[in-house]
Amino acid sequence: MNKGKNILLVENSAADFYKSRLKYAKFLIGKGFNVFALIPEDSVCSMIEAQGVHIYTYRLNRNTNWLSQIFKTIGVYRKIFKEQKIDIVHSYRFFPNIINILIGVLSSRKKIVHITGLGIAYSNTTLKYRIYKHASNVIYFLMVLLSDAVVVQNPDDLRHLTYFKFMQ
Q: Give burial (CB, 10 Å; 0-12/13-18/19+) of 143.
A: buried
At position 61, the amino acid (one-letter code) is: N
pLDDT (tens digit, 9 = 90+) per residue, 125-150?
888 888 888 888 888 888 888 999 98
Distance in angstroms (rounded) separating the CA atoms of residues 80 and 8: 9
Q: What is the pLDDT of residue 27?
A: 96
Q: What is the pLDDT of residue 168?
A: 47
Q: What is the pLDDT of residue 131?
A: 87
- Which pairing describes strands 34-40 and 6-10: parallel, antiparallel, or unpaired? parallel
Mean pLDDT of 60-78: 81
6 pairs with which residues across the strands? 34
pLDDT (tens digit, 9 = 90+) per residue, 22-58?
999 999 999 999 999 999 998 999 999 999 999 999 8
Mean pLDDT of 103-120: 84
**Which of the listed ranges 28-37, 69-78, 109-118, 133-142 does the model predict with the highest average pLDDT?**
28-37
